[in-house]
């Protein structure tokens, strides 16, 4: 009987430890953040932090894209950049680096990184997570305040597991960390199947985040599974819709033959219209056939790097 308090104490300690810390695939979740992310005070903290391991075995593609971008002439121009579109197809790593490099030197406090939900895991129109991502260039951390604000809506699910293999986030994160170290980056996945019936409510939710110092980065590849010539024709139609701000045409973009996330593009374009920054600059347009020097392939992927500024 003398050992009973010790045994009970050990059991209680194990239960507390199990509740506060567990590992699932590449995610480690803890009940409290290891430190206050990016200078934010974390008070009444009640959203678990999800830690995501680096998904890539080599930094080569990222480094090649960064090297190429750094040897291009500056493409920033005048005016505050409020939104950027980049690919997540790493054969187009230079497109990513060129677009994200334009944000260097701008006063940015938060980035919301919006990706299609590639694997149809999100049970609501939008999903997010209070994630810390390991990359070759350092760690990318979400804003707990933004996550808490988003998940207060029934449109948004806090779903750390969804982001465990969402390459729409992973592929872009290293470029952001390299060029914008210390800026909080909150991931947001868009359910691609039923967004149109919720688009206005989704837009209102993002509008509440369209504050000074916040930049939206859209992670979207464009034409898929087409020959080079077919992709060029589709891309011309897509570019025309985006260049003119034709919201109806953007909403009707075909997935996947024009974009893998028309919803992402429509939300971004609508935010730009509503907040008077619909001034697009097309930085790059590439196709995997050209980048890989093989125009005989039957299926290609195309990419745009675009920014919108005030």
Query: Cα–Cα–Cα angle for 240, 242, 247, nearest 5°?
Result: 110
Q: Is the pLDDT of residue 141 over 90?
A: yes
Q: CA-to-CA distance for 61 and 154, rounded, in angstroms?
A: 38
- Residue 77 is predicted with a pLDDT of 76
* Least trusted range by pLDDT, from 72-76, 175-179, 222-226: 72-76
Asked, for residue 7, whether it belongs to a domain, the answer is no
- Residue 41 is predicted with a pLDDT of 35
C-alpha dihedral (96, 299, 242, 220), degrees to nearest 10: -40
- Residue 106 is predicted with a pLDDT of 96
- Residue 233 is predicted with a pLDDT of 98
Asked, for residue 14, whether it belongs to a domain, the answer is no
Q: Could you tell me if 256 and 225 are in contact, meaning their C-beta atoms sit under 8 angstroms apart?
A: yes
Asked, for residue 104, whether it belongs to a domain, the answer is yes
Burial 74-84 (b: 16+ CB within 10 A, else e): eeeeeeebbbb
Place of tokens 């859209």: 218
pLDDT band with cut points at 50, 70 and 90 for residue 75: confident
Model pLDDT for residues 224-273, shown as the tens digit of each residue: 999 999 999 999 999 999 999 999 999 999 999 999 999 999 999 999 99
- Residue 2 is predicted with a pLDDT of 45
Per the structure block, which two tokens stand in for 4? 């009973």
| Consecutive H or E run containing 110 | strand 110-116
- Residue 222 is predicted with a pLDDT of 98
Say how many domains are in the chain.
1
Q: Could you tell me if 116 and 191 are in contact, meaning their C-beta atoms sit under 8 angstroms apart?
A: no
- Residue 74 is predicted with a pLDDT of 81
Could you list the residue range(s) of the whole structural domain that residue 154 is in? 33-309
Asked, for residue 134, whether it belongs to a domain, the answer is yes
pLDDT band with cut points at 50, 70 and 90 for residue 46: low
- Residue 137 is predicted with a pLDDT of 98
Cis check: omega of the bond before 80, within 30 degrees of 0: no
Model pLDDT for residues 102-136, shown as the tens digit of each residue: 999 999 999 999 999 999 999 999 999 999 999 99
- Residue 35 is predicted with a pLDDT of 40
Model pLDDT for residues 271-301, shown as the tens digit of each residue: 999 999 999 999 999 999 999 999 999 999 9
Q: Is the pLDDT of residue 207 over 90?
A: yes
CATH number at residue 163: 3.40.830.10
Contacts of 60 (CB under 8 A, 6+ apart): none
Helix then strand count (H, E) for the chain reads 11, 14
Asked, for residue 19, whether it belongs to a domain, the answer is no
Per the structure block, which two tokens stand in for 149? 């604000």
Model pLDDT for residues 3-26, shown as the tens digit of each residue: 444 443 343 444 333 333 333 333
The rounded percent of the chain whose pLDDT value lies above 70 is: 85
pLDDT band with cut points at 50, 70 and 90 for residue 38: very low
């Amino acid at each position: 009987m003398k050992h009973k308090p010790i045994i009970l104490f050990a059991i209680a300690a194990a239960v507390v430890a199990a509740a506060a810390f567990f590992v699932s695939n590449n995610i480690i979740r803890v009940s409290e953040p290891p430190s206050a992310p990016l200078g934010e005070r974390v008070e009444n903290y009640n959203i678990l932090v999800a830690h995501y391991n680096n998904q890539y075995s080599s930094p080569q593609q990222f480094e090649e894209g960064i090297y190429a971008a750094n040897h291009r002439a500056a493409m920033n121009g005048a005016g505050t950049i409020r939104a950027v579109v980049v690919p997540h197809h790493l054969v187009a790593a230079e497109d990513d680096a060129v677009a994200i490099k334009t944000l260097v030197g701008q006063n940015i406090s938060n980035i919301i990184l919006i990706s299609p939900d590639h694997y149809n895991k999100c049970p609501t129109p939008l999903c997010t997570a209070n994630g810390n991502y390991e990359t070759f260039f350092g760690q990318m951390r979400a804003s707990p305040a933004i996550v808490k604000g988003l998940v207060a809506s029934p449109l948004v699910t806090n779903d750390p597991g969804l982001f465990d293999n969402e390459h729409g986030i992973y592929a872009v994160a290293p470029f952001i960390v390299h060029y914008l170290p210390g800026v909080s980056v909150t991931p947001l996945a868009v359910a691609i199947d039923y967004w149109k019936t919720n688009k206005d409510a989704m837009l209102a939710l993002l509008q509440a985040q369209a504050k000074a110092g916040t930049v939206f980065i859209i992670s979207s590849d464009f034409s898929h599974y087409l020959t080079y010539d077919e992709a060029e024709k589709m891309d011309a139609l897509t570019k025309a819709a985006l260049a003119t701000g034709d919201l109806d045409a953007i909403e009707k973009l075909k997935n996947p033959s024009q974009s893998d996330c028309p919803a992402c593009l429509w939300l971004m374009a609508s935010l730009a219209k509503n907040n008077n920054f619909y001034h697009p600059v097309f930085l790059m347009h590439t196709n995997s056939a050209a980048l890989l020097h093989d125009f005989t392939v039957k299926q290609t992927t195309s990419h745009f790097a675009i920014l919108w500024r005030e």
